[in-house]
């Protein structure tokens, strides 16, 4: 696995997204910084039938935030053996970095898959 794969996978959408679609895709990632899974969930529910591009980005962001919540819960349990403090800090940093990468890919009109993600919702 090369270093590029550690940052996730990108692909081109079947059709060129409009400016509004690009904006909604970017927001589905950026708003995760302050709204966790709520922002991509709302965007997904509002736009899933209108734009496959926005749907894909919102769903990927939503699944990633659910994955992060699961990992934060595990870290919270591990706090009792002091490893959790480091793990929570590392997870927060990874979350922020990958949100920034996903936002950049969305602004470049590319679909993005996070490198580790429990794809619970399809």
Q: Is the dihedral of CA 55, 57, 63, 68 positive or negative?
A: negative
CA 121 to chain centre: 13
- CA 86/CA 29 separation, integer angstroms: 25
Alpha helices in 1-122 (DSSP H): 3-6, 19-30, 32-35, 38-47, 52-78, 83-107
Over residues 61-112, the pLDDT tens digits come to 999 999 999 988 888 887 777 666 778 888 899 989 999 999 999 999 888 8
For the stretch 19-29, pLDDT in tens is 899 999 999 99
Domain regions of the chain by residue span: 9-109
Which pTM was predicted? 0.81
């Amino acid at each position: 696995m090369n270093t590029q794969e550690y940052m996730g996978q990108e692909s081109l959408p079947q059709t060129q997204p409009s400016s509004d679609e690009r904006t909604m895709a970017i927001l589905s990632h950026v708003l995760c910084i302050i709204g966790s899974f709520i922002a991509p969930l709302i965007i997904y529910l509002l736009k899933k039938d209108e734009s496959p591009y926005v749907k894909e980005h919102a769903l990927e962001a939503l699944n990633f935030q659910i994955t992060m919540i699961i990992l934060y819960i595990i870290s919270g349990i591990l706090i009792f053996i002091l490893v959790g403090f480091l793990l929570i800090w590392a997870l927060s940093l990874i979350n922020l970095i990958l949100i920034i990468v996903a936002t950049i890919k969305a602004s470049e009109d590319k679909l993005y898959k996070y490198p580790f993600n429990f794809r619970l919702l399809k």
